[in-house]
Amino acid sequence: MSENVYIIGAGIHPFGRTDGRSGREQGVYAVREALKDAGLDWPDIECAYGGSAAAGNADIMVNELGLTSLPFTNVANGCATGGSALSAAQQAIASGMYDLALATGFDKHPRGAFNAKPADYGLPDWYGQTGMMLTTQFFALKIQRYMQLYGISRTTLGRVAEKAFRNGTLTPHAWRRSPIDLDTIMNAPMINDPLTKYMFCSPSEGGVALILASEKKMKELGADGVKVRSLAVKTRPPDSFEVFQPGVSIKEGGKPTVLASKAAFEKAGLGPEDIEVAQLQDTESGAEIMHMAENGFCKDGEQEEWLANGWSEIGGKLPVNTDGGCLACGEPIGASGLRQVYENVQQLRGRGGERQVPGRDGKGPRFGYSHVYGAPGLSAVAILERA
């Protein structure tokens, strides 16, 4: 990487359910918000990367945004669609080829759990027919074993959800904006033991857009930029345990999140102790707990103490999922990873409003960390720095 890359514009379409507005229209809305934020017009954008999982191709957005002949690459990378779009946009600027690039993601899913087709994942039909190919089961199976091995209690799972909904009440772009108390969370219908209804995120809708610029361009525009300190995208290593696996190796393998986290910290020349705000994939409560350790923020089992003491609350020693995460925002696949980055951009610029993290110097956090995980076993990590 040669050139420094900055995020100078960030836009979001509120997550949740927006009847009468397509996923792509929500993406276009987000792009216009990002342009406004950066003080730019659509023809200023030199290249674009974007996608959705279930709401069509992103390059059609030019119909609404304007036929400026820019190269617009569609990204289809499942849960990492946003992360991959961001990574491609960053490379476009870092290479010196472009000065202004767009990364966008949007989606609109039907209600209820995702249903995947076995053939799309190279799996036999019986795996789906017998009811074992559900993402929710994977997360339950992973946290169930983790709880047994490291002494994580069900109450701790509940506390993660309680925090998410509390943070959601402070977040204009969140879907779930009412608090839910611990008892209600713990006593809600069981979806996949040990996870109740309120411990899972739901597929939803939304759009996010980020505008990336070279340092030269940012200075020229006098824009309020946040530096992309490092980015890492990693697919699964051998012998790992991932979503949609009828058979798992008896050897304990690596984890894509651990690899992406280490690579991002190494590239940034930073460690977990430097991070002041983190957005971690919380498909369900257990995922946030396990990802705290996989990303290096605590040791396995310490989450029990973290949640009991509120260390991951806004105002705690490392606020996690300050906008309520996937639990409060829902998960529009194509937009979800970019939402995390959007939230960090807001936090680093001191625009977090009621949910603003004070930071160690009282001027907001200096370093923000985001982590997305998805099928078929990949993780993307982005570390941002206040300019």
Instruction: List residues near other proteins by CB under 8 A.
Output: 112-113, 115, 117-118, 124-126, 128-134, 137, 140-142, 144-145, 148-149, 189-194, 245-250
The residue among 248 and 308 lying less far from other proteins, judged by its C-beta, is: 248
Cα 220 to Cα 125: distance, rounded to the nearest angstrom: 56
**Any residues with CB less than 8 A from the CB of 199 and at least 6 apart, and which?**
157, 158, 160, 161, 185, 188, 191, 284, 285, 286, 327
**Least CB distance to other proteins at residue 184 (A):** 17
**Least CB distance to other proteins at residue 161 (A):** 16
Decide if 92 contacts 3 (C-beta within 8 A). no
The residue among 282 and 323 lying less far from other proteins, judged by its C-beta, is: 282
**Residue 186 main-chain phi, psi, to 5 deg:** -70, -30
Decide if 138 contacts 375 (C-beta within 8 A). no
**Least CB distance to other proteins at residue 373 (A):** 18
Which has the closest alpha carbon to 52: 27, 69, 72, 34?
27
Cα 240 to Cα 339: distance, rounded to the nearest angstrom: 27
The residue among 255 and 355 lying less far from other proteins, judged by its C-beta, is: 255
**Least CB distance to other proteins at residue 245 (A):** 7
User: Which one-letter amino acid corresponds to residue 244?
Assistant: F
Place of tokens 């009282």: 362
**Least CB distance to other proteins at residue 117 (A):** 7
Cα 296 to Cα 175: distance, rounded to the nearest angstrom: 29
59 CB-contact burial (10 Å; exposed 0-12 / middle 13-18 / buried 19+): middle
The residue among 140 and 335 lying less far from other proteins, judged by its C-beta, is: 140
Report helix, strand or coil for 93. helix
DSSP β-ladder status, 72-74 and 47-51: parallel
Q: How many CB atoms lie within 10 A of CB 332?
A: 33
**Least CB distance to other proteins at residue 112 (A):** 7
The residue among 1 and 190 lying less far from other proteins, judged by its C-beta, is: 190
The residue among 145 and 360 lying less far from other proteins, judged by its C-beta, is: 145
The residue among 132 and 263 lying less far from other proteins, judged by its C-beta, is: 132
Query: Which two structure tokens, joined as six digits, stand for 178?
Result: 């009412």
Decide if 84 contacts 75 (C-beta within 8 A). yes
Dihedral of CA atoms 39, 42, 47, 51 in degrees, nearest 10, equals 100
Decide if 51 contacts 79 (C-beta within 8 A). no
Query: Which two structure tokens, joined as six digits, stand for 261?
Result: 């986290």
**Least CB distance to other proteins at residue 26 (A):** 24
Decide if 59 contacts 73 (C-beta within 8 A). yes
Place of tokens 């279930």: 54
**Least CB distance to other proteins at residue 128 (A):** 4
Cα 105 to Cα 59: distance, rounded to the nearest angstrom: 11
The residue among 118 and 316 lying less far from other proteins, judged by its C-beta, is: 118
The residue among 140 and 232 lying less far from other proteins, judged by its C-beta, is: 140
**Least CB distance to other proteins at residue 156 (A):** 17
Which has the closest alpha carbon to 369: 282, 270, 283, 284?
270
The residue among 95 and 115 lying less far from other proteins, judged by its C-beta, is: 115
**Least CB distance to other proteins at residue 107 (A):** 17
